[in-house]
């Protein structure tokens, strides 16, 4: 499980620190599903990567891209899960008293799938 946070220079360090502390819990709470080891997601399994946006970037102040394993229940609720993460991140960011535009994208991927054929 990986999450990439791309931010503009106007985003305060306090907000980024709060994201670093809270985002693993937010993601694990939102994406954990009942049943099986594949569905369990602990905060320590979430890897965060921060990077600063280019000065020419015209997008959101904070972009969060979450890359998660695709499971049937997650896939069927993809938009709702991304919206749930977004709502929690917005609440976290507004505690600083600043206003930022925030974009959350959830990418559900097949992990470990491969094709193999024997050749004579």
pLDDT score for 76: 74
Which domains can be identified in the chain, with CATH numbers?
2-109 (3.30.429.10)
**Residue 67, token pair as written in the block:** 């890359």
- Helix axes 78-94 and 13-31, enclosed angle (nearest 10): 150
> Alpha carbon of 28 to those of 41, 56, 57, 101: distances in Å?
5, 33, 29, 23
Q: What is the pTM of this model?
A: 0.82
Residues near 112 by beta carbon (within 8 Å), at least 6 away in sequence:
none
pLDDT tens for the chain, 120 residues long, are: 789 999 999 999 999 999 999 999 999 888 877 666 656 678 888 899 999 999 888 889 999 999 888 877 676 788 888 999 999 999 988 887 888 999 999 988 876 655 666 765
């Amino acid at each position: 499980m990986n999450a990439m946070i791309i931010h503009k220079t106007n985003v305060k360090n306090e907000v980024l620190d709060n994201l670093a502390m809270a985002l693993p819990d937010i993601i694990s709470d939102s994406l954990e599903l009942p049943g099986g080891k594949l569905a369990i997601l602990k905060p320590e399994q979430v890897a965060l990567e921060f990077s600063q946006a280019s000065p020419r970037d015209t997008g959101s102040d904070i972009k969060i891209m979450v890359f998660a394993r695709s499971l049937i229940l997650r896939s069927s609720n993809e938009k709702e899960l991304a919206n749930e993460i977004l709502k929690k991140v917005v609440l976290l960011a507004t505690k600083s008293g600043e206003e930022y535009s925030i974009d959350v994208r959830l990418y559900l991927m097949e992990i470990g799938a491969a094709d193999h054929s024997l050749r004579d």
